[in-house]
Amino acid sequence: MDAMYIGIEIIKMVVIFLLMVQLVPILVWIERRGSAFIQNRFGPNRVGPLGLVQLLADAVKFAFKEEFIPGGSYKFLFLLAPVVALIPGVLAFAAIPLGAPFSLEPFEMFGNTWGPYDLKLQGYDYGIGIVFVLGVSSLAAYSLLMAGWGSANKYSLFGALRASAQMISYELGLGLSLVGILLLYGTFSFNEMIAIQDGPLTFMFMGKETIIPFLPNWGIFYQPLGAILFFVSVFAESNRLPFDLPEAEAELVAGYHTEYGGLKMNMFYIGEYGHMMVASALMATFYFGGYNLPFVTPEAINEMFTGMGFAFNGASLMTTLVSHLILMTKVFLFLWIFIWVRWTLPRFRYDQLMDLGWKTILPWALANTVITAFVVVLMRGA
């Protein structure tokens, strides 16, 4: 608990936040290029190579927009809403492990030797990983309500109410679809889940242990229905198409962020993309083995790097880097699916959208939970 450890923790916090805020322009760029690719056009390619500097230009343009407060609105609520939109995404993102933990031997710095550390590439590790993430992400509804109420505009209030009603309805589906996989893992903490998911697919079948050597022990093979329900609910949680009716340009002007402009509007996007990133990271951690390749454990990667002549610290850092890259490829795969679905599927009508949430996802998730429990008792109990 010496000064170096606290320094590393604080730097880790700032890095995780900046990682998320930096990923948003990249995601916006991928979205604009991706949608162009899907619609057989070019997308931004004027500013800089492949349009990459376009994002910087947009950011600067946003910063210089005029500060506009609509008349008759609650100024404090109006300004607080974009800030509250940021918080849930970042707090949830920092709770998910982004790479294998790395350990450092005692090393020389600033004049004295700092003891061995065992650090996790994760903002903070609560034993109740997923419950904390669900709790924090349920606070996102407040930024919508504050934005809708703060901007003293009938239609934005209307959009805010519909958006928050949709968001809380799909929180039910989100919570219930995870119960099946939690039952199999028997734990809430992400690190234990990732540890359980390495090695070949092993499960108890009528009392005796059966191993399928070619399949990894990932959650998707135990709970395919749970994974689908979770992914659909998370689509609706982050107001992504085909569930983004409340901020649909056609019907409701722009929903709850009608009166916002410039950086404040940008912060709502950061919140939305942050929610998408948390969703993809959760999907990878629960069902696709987190930061591990199918049959490769972080220790194996570590030996490979020590074999290649890295020092102890160097090898563990390289292992963490490789595991982080593995997780990021999975996260970007799911983010691409988010973008891909957005530009192919049409938008749901509002009552279809709510009926899907209450009358299909919820019963299916319940059935999934009961069947999983029954199978586990049958297989393990017998």
Q: Is 118 in the site for another protein (CB under 8 A)?
A: no
Q: Give the three-state DSSP class for 204.
A: strand
238 near 279, Cβ under 8 Å?
A: yes
Determine the Cα–Cα distance for residues 78 and 125; give it in Å rounded to an integer: 33
Using CB under 8 A, which of the segments 48-56, 224-232, 251-259, 282-290 binds another protein? Answer: 251-259
Question: Given the complex with another protein, which of 90 and 322 has the nearer CB atom?
Answer: 90
Q: Give the residue, chosen from 83, 211, 215, 300, that forms a contact with another protein under the rule CB under 8 A.
A: 83
Q: Is 78 exposed, middle or buried (0-12, 13-18, 19+ CB in 10 A)?
A: buried
Question: Given the complex with another protein, which of 318 and 361 has the nearer CB atom?
Answer: 361
Dig out the tokens for 306 from the structure.
């020590």
For another protein, what does the binding mask look like between residues 3 and 22, x meaning CB under 8 A? --xx--xx--xx-xx---x-
Q: Is 126 in the site for another protein (CB under 8 A)?
A: yes
Determine the Cα–Cα distance for residues 226 and 375; give it in Å rounded to an integer: 15
- Adjacent-strand bridge partners of 113: 108
Using CB under 8 A, which of the segments 42-50, 217-225, 237-245, 254-262 binds another protein? Answer: 254-262
Q: Is 269 in the site for another protein (CB under 8 A)?
A: no
Using CB under 8 A, which of the segments 27-35, 42-50, 259-267, 275-283 binds another protein? Answer: 259-267
Q: Please tell me the count of residues contacting another protein according to CB under 8 A.
A: 102
Q: Is 115 in the site for another protein (CB under 8 A)?
A: no
Nearest distance from C-beta of residue 11 to another protein, angstroms: 12
- Phi-psi domain of 146 (left: phi exceeds 0; alpha: psi -120 through 50; beta: other): alpha
239 near 162, Cβ under 8 Å?
A: no
Q: Give the residue, chosen from 4, 38, 52, 131, that forms a contact with another protein under the rule CB under 8 A.
A: 131
Q: Is 104 in the site for another protein (CB under 8 A)?
A: no
Place of tokens 């999907």: 283
Q: Give the residue, chosen from 57, 161, 248, 341, that forms a contact with another protein under the rule CB under 8 A.
A: 161
Q: Give the residue, chosen from 169, 280, 292, 302, that forms a contact with another protein under the rule CB under 8 A.
A: 169
Q: Give the three-state DSSP class for 260.
A: coil
What are the residues whose beta carbons fall under 8 Å from the beta carbon of 212, sequence distance 6 or more?
200, 201, 202
Q: Is 373 in the site for another protein (CB under 8 A)?
A: yes
Q: Is 310 in the site for another protein (CB under 8 A)?
A: no
Q: Is 111 in the site for another protein (CB under 8 A)?
A: no
For another protein, what does the binding mask look like between residues 170 and 189, x meaning CB under 8 A? -xx--xx--x--xx--xxxx
Q: How many Cα atoms sit within 13 Å of 205 on the Cβ side?
A: 7
Q: Is 119 in the site for another protein (CB under 8 A)?
A: no
Which residue type sits at 213? Answer: P
Determine the Cα–Cα distance for residues 252 and 152; give it in Å rounded to an integer: 15
117: DSSP letter = E
Residues 36 to 65 in contact with another protein, rule: CB under 8 A: 62-65
Q: What is the CA radius of gyration of the chain?
A: 23
